[in-house]
Structure 1
Amino acid sequence: MIKSNVGIAPWDALNVALSKRIGLTIGSWVFIIGTILILINSLIKRSIPNVAGVIPILIIGAFVDLLNLKILSFMEIDILFFRWSLFFGGLCILASGIAIYLRASFPTVPNDELMLALTERTGWGINITKTIGEAIAFLLAIVWKGPVGIGTFIVVLCLGLLVGFFDQFLHKVGMPRYFIVRRNVDE
């Protein structure tokens, strides 16, 4: 999605903005923002911080840096159709990946744990709470002058819906959910 150059996911836009404004790599900011979110999530849930959330942000941060600084550094796409195809393909992969890993017993990425904490606290569906989290990141990315484009706005509007769609699909095909939320998360 970063390479599509039409706007990226809000959390990525925030990380890119911080990287450009303050320094460090995008992957480093994935880790720093993720660590801050772990603390915020513990406040929302009124529990001890989920230190297991450090594992996925370390992996994601390293992977983001590897992809963007090494493997895909040469990639430039000029044809608008291919840029949007790359963007929408990335959005669908992101949404389905979130829905799949939420049903597994893997440590939760802090921005997705924010979604789950809000779901637990409010009883709202994950489609709504994911959209709220993305909107918060969107506003922060704007404040930090991140690479916000029409694609970023599309992610804010659609990612929560797509995660909810894929989550419902996985529920219908019988894939059990391993995270525990006290209220209705299947809505």
Structure 2
Amino acid sequence: MYMRNLLAWRWIFFIGGMMIMSLGISLTIKGQRLGIGPWDVLHVGLFQNIGLTIGSWSIITGFIIVTVTSLVLRQWPRWGTWLNMMMIGLFIDFFNWLLPDLTSLTAQIISFVLGVLVLSYGVGIYVSPNLGAGPRDSLMLLFVEKFGWSLRLVRSGIEATVTLVGFLLGGPVGVGTLLVVLFCGQLIQIALPQCREILLKITDQEDEKVLWHYKGA
């Protein structure tokens, strides 16, 4: 019974965090006059040129990344990775439909700043139970593992590449894109320990190794 409750809380954090993260992404998209995050620049660019939805392109690019990394590593991804790929795209489309379009610059600035904060804490919540990295994180780790490059170099290179491709497709690039690259990681570093601490308290854990190394997921 105890282990069931522990696993249930981990999944609640995982799914709830993805929902909150997707809300943050949609808020930045509604404030896209400032620019949006690198991967979202690509997804919006694909949406504008080919159609479908922004969330659909998040799922499609995620699927391609998961497939490639799985073939290279010869390792089947965790179920959380597949769920991450599917659910974030669905949540993005839901919140893009739910949230109103913003016309004034002031409203877009507020939406963008709020979106970055919400996005960062969403990442902290969904990563804290350690149920599977997202497709883009898996790609980053693949380059680090295969070539021994630094995490910061790999992340910057990937984000620069997808931003350039998205920009060429007409995706919104601006000062906000730079702000996401510079500050989102730092906000996540603040959010993640806080979210882990909350999860440990809820599950009555004193040692996080029990939580992260539990193999019931």
TM-score norm. by structure 1 comes to 0.75
Check 1:168–1:128 CA distance in 2 against 1; reply closer, same or farther (3 A cut). farther
CA distance in 2, matches of 1:130, 1:143: 20
In structure 2, give the amino acid aligned to 1:34: G
Q: Where does residue 57 of structure 1 map in the other structure?
A: 85
Unaligned 5+ runs, structure 2: 1-27, 201-207
Deviations 1:142-178 (A, max 9, x none): 2322111211121122222322333355578895473
User: 1:8 deviation in Å?
Assistant: 1.1
May I ask how many residue pairs the two structures share in their alignment?
174
CA distance in 1, matches of 2:121, 2:145: 21
CA contact (8 A) 1:3 1:77 kept: no
User: 1:95 deviation in Å?
Assistant: 1.7
CA distance in 2, matches of 1:134, 1:43: 22
CA distance in 2, matches of 1:111, 1:148: 20
Counterpart check, 1:75 vs 2:101: yes
Q: Where does residue 48 of structure 1 map in the other structure?
A: 75
User: 1:21 deviation in Å?
Assistant: 0.8
Q: Where does residue 11 of structure 1 map in the other structure?
A: 39
CA contact (8 A) 1:14 1:146 kept: yes
Check 1:60–1:136 CA distance in 2 against 1; reply closer, same or farther (3 A cut). same
Deviations 1:91-121 (A, max 9, x none): 1221222123222133322113334445555
CA contact (8 A) 1:27 1:61 kept: yes
Check 1:102–1:116 CA distance in 2 against 1; reply closer, same or farther (3 A cut). farther
Please give the secondary structure, in 1, of the residue aligned with 2:138.
helix
RMSD: 3.0
In structure 2, give the amino acid aligned to 1:47: R
In structure 1, give the amino acid aligned to 2:166: A
Q: Where does residue 115 of structure 2 map in the other structure?
A: 90
Deviations 1:14-63 (A, max 9, x none): 1111011112111111111001111343366x232426322122111111
Unaligned 5+ runs, structure 1: 180-187
The structure number with the bigger radius of gyration is 2
CA distance in 2, matches of 1:169, 1:76: 32
Please give the secondary structure, in 1, of the residue aligned with 2:42.
helix
Deviations 1:42-85 (A, max 9, x none): 366x23242632212211111111222x312x3324042x3222
TM-score norm. by structure 2 comes to 0.66
CA contact (8 A) 1:7 1:150 kept: yes
Q: Where does residue 94 of structure 2 map in the other structure?
A: 66
Check 1:138–1:49 CA distance in 2 against 1; reply closer, same or farther (3 A cut). farther
Counterpart check, 1:111 vs 2:139: no
Please give the secondary structure, in 2, of the residue aligned with 1:48.
coil
Check 1:88–1:115 CA distance in 2 against 1; reply closer, same or farther (3 A cut). farther
CA distance in 2, matches of 1:8, 1:76: 15
Please give the secondary structure, in 2, of the residue aligned with 1:8.
coil
